[in-house]
Amino acid sequence: MGEFDLIARYFKRPARRAALGIGDDCALLQPAPGTQLAISCDMLVQGRHFFADVNPRSLGHKALAVNLSDLAACGAKPLAFTLALALPEINEPWLTDFAGGLFELADAHNCELVGGDTTAGPLNICITVFGEVPLVNGRSQALLRSGARAGDDLYVSGTLGDARLALNALQGKLSVPAPILLAARQRLERPSPRVALGQALRGIASAAIDLSDGLMGDLGHILESSQIGATVQVDTLVHSIACYVDSTPAGIQGGIDLSLAQWRTLALAGGDDYELLFTASPSQRAAVAAAAQASQTPVRCVGQIDANPGLRLLDRQGQVLPNQYASFDHFA
Ligand code: ADP
Ligand code: MG
């Protein structure tokens, strides 16, 4: 099979929303009148972002999920994506599963594959995603990192730390009971981008970012862009799948041998969670709750934005914790 047969067999489908899909030199997209295009690109590299033996269905899912998560963080509605793929060989069962995972998520979000590039090489997947954000009276409704204001509440969707819990278990660094590992591994390998929540927060949230590198680093981006500081009640964050599995006070660690400090590290610096971190004025509390309900996404307030620069971490007694949690950096 050659390059063009491969594209035709696994990736080319009839164009639906695009004016022109796969097959020419460019695809043609027609954003709805009164909208802006939101564009984001993410690359997944074998050995860096996934193991060589990862399930290809999960890989197809995750490659698109991490991109949809960026659209979610901007409050954008998914429209289309391109796929640049380097493959070491043509492995048909692998391609069937990869394309299956990719299109399953794409169809769930009505996001259409409109083009890409295919080459031989070490396994590498690069997706560029396009979304729509409305303009109201000429003003973009996109959620940005720069809009947080002193006095805003700080919120996180879902739970944090489960992806890192699974990674640590798969690397043999810690032992996790099978049902918890199954659930945590789902979070690592098949994250659910918070696309509906992101759109529901337009006009409500003052700033937003998706949590890909860990809360410490990603909140740092909001603080830097918005030129403000924050206080985080750390123990409101320590709510992983393991805590839900066994939420009696004595068994809060779900049968996993981790100290509270280690749970805090998972939640603060874990990465790969693809939850949304956002800020909103206290006057928007009811609207935030309504957005969470409408998008069927749990959301919790975990701190406040303040004028005082820097980041303060408080435990449940209100004591200041040392700030020792580094987030992920490819070149650190
Ligand atoms: P060109 O050489 O003009 O850039 P290609 O020959 O690489 O185009 O690709 C032919 C068509 O197939 C183009 O429309 C391109 O967007 C599409 N395409 C190539 N690889 C992929 C892929 N992995 N997924 C989806 N579409 C692809
Ligand atoms: Mg060309």
Ligand 2 centre and the CA of 228: distance in Å?
Answer: 46
- The two three-digit tokens of residue 206, written as one number: 């003052």
Q: Which of 11, 22, 123 to mutate to test the pocket of ligand 1 (most atoms within 8 A of CB)?
A: 22
Q: Please tell me the predicted confidence (pLDDT) of residue 249.
A: 44
Atom of ligand 1 nearest to the CA of 23: 14
Ligand 2 centre and the CA of 315: distance in Å?
Answer: 57
Q: How far apart are CA 241 and CA 169, in angstroms?
A: 14
Atom of ligand 1 nearest to the CA of 25: 3
For residue 11, which of 122, 127, 89 has the smallest C-alpha distance? Answer: 127
Ligand 2 centre and the CA of 23: distance in Å?
Answer: 9
Q: Which ligand is nearest to the CA of 13?
A: 1
**Phi, psi torsion values for 147, nearest 5 degrees:** -95, 5
Find all residues with CB under 8 Å of 219, minimum gap 6, and list them: 154, 209, 230, 232, 277, 311
- The two three-digit tokens of residue 98, written as one number: 């990869």
Ligand 1 centre and the CA of 89: distance in Å?
Answer: 17
Q: How many residues does the chain have?
A: 332
Q: Which ligand is nearest to the CA of 116?
A: 1
Q: Please tell me the predicted confidence (pLDDT) of residue 250.
A: 40
Please state, in angstroms and as integers, the Cα–Cα distance from residue 67 to each residue in 63, 78, 175, 204, 269, following that order: 7, 10, 31, 23, 20
Q: Which ligand is nearest to the CA of 3?
A: 1
For residue 269, which of 192, 324, 221 has the smallest C-alpha distance? Answer: 324
Residue 89 DSSP SS3: coil
Are the C-beta atoms of residues 271 and 164 closer than 8 Å to each other? Answer: yes
User: Where do the domains of the chain lie, and which CATH numbers do they carry?
Assistant: 3-140 (3.30.1330.10), 153-321 (3.90.650.10)
Find all residues with CB under 8 Å of 103, minimum gap 6, and list them: 13, 60, 113
- Please return the burial class of 193, using the count of CB atoms within 10 Å of its CB with bins 0-12, 13-18 and 19+: buried
Q: Please tell me the predicted confidence (pLDDT) of residue 252.
A: 45
- Residue for token pair 């048909």: 92
Atom of ligand 1 nearest to the CA of 117: 20
Report residues of the chain scoring pLDDT below 50.
248-252
* Pocket lined around ligand 1, Cβ cut-off 6 Å: 7, 11, 22-25, 83, 85, 113, 115-118
For residue 12, which of 128, 113, 120, 109 has the smallest C-alpha distance? Answer: 113
Are the C-beta atoms of residues 44 and 58 closer than 8 Å to each other? Answer: no
Ligand 1 centre and the CA of 6: distance in Å?
Answer: 10
What type of residue is 165?
Answer: L
Ligand 1 centre and the CA of 112: distance in Å?
Answer: 14
Q: Which residue is closest in CA terms to ligand 1's atom 1? A: 25
Q: How far apart are CA 297 and CA 247, in angstroms?
A: 20
Ligand 1 centre and the CA of 17: distance in Å?
Answer: 18
Residue 206 DSSP SS3: coil
Q: How far apart are CA 143 and CA 74, in angstroms?
A: 4
Find all residues with CB under 8 Å of 88, minimum gap 6, and list them: 120, 121, 122, 123
pTM more than 0.75: yes
CB atoms under 10 Å from CB of 107, counted, come to 12
Q: Which of 1, 7, 43 to mutate to test the pocket of ligand 1 (most atoms within 8 A of CB)?
A: 7
Cα Rg of the chain, angstroms: 20
Atom of ligand 1 nearest to the CA of 84: 23
Q: Which ligand is nearest to the CA of 114?
A: 1
Q: Which residue is closest in CA terms to ligand 1's atom 9? A: 117
Ligand 2 centre and the CA of 131: distance in Å?
Answer: 24
Q: Which residue is closest in CA terms to ligand 1's atom 7? A: 117
Q: How far apart are CA 120 and CA 153, in angstroms?
A: 48
What type of residue is 36?
Answer: Q
For residue 65, which of 171, 189, 153, 154 has the smallest C-alpha distance? Answer: 189
Are the C-beta atoms of residues 309 and 223 closer than 8 Å to each other? Answer: yes
Q: Please tell me the predicted confidence (pLDDT) of residue 170.
A: 92
- Please return the burial class of 268, using the count of CB atoms within 10 Å of its CB with bins 0-12, 13-18 and 19+: buried
